[in-house]
């Protein structure tokens, strides 16, 4: 393999890793919001 091909491969792997980390962070953020909504719903349900 030439140096250029190795650099392209490394850049592609780095890109994929960044995408995976960003997706993981977004899912964590969504999960936190769902927990907040669930707690508020439970509080409202407890009042009734």
Summarize pLDDT for 11-30 with one digit per residue, the tens. 999 999 999 999 999 999 99
Q: Measured between alpha carbons, how far is 45 from 41 in angstroms, rounded to an integer?
A: 6
Summarize pLDDT for 28-43 with one digit per residue, the tens. 999 999 999 999 999 9
Q: Measured between alpha carbons, how far is 48 from 37 in angstroms, rounded to an integer?
A: 17
What pTM was computed for the model?
0.57
Q: Which residues contact 9 (CB under 8 A, 6 or more apart)?
A: 1
């Amino acid at each position: 393999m030439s140096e250029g091909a190795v650099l392209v491969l490394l850049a592609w792997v780095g890109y994929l890793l960044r995408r995976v980390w960003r997706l993981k962070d977004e899912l964590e953020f969504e999960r936190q919001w769902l927990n907040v909504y669930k707690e508020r719903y439970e509080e409202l349900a407890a009042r009734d």
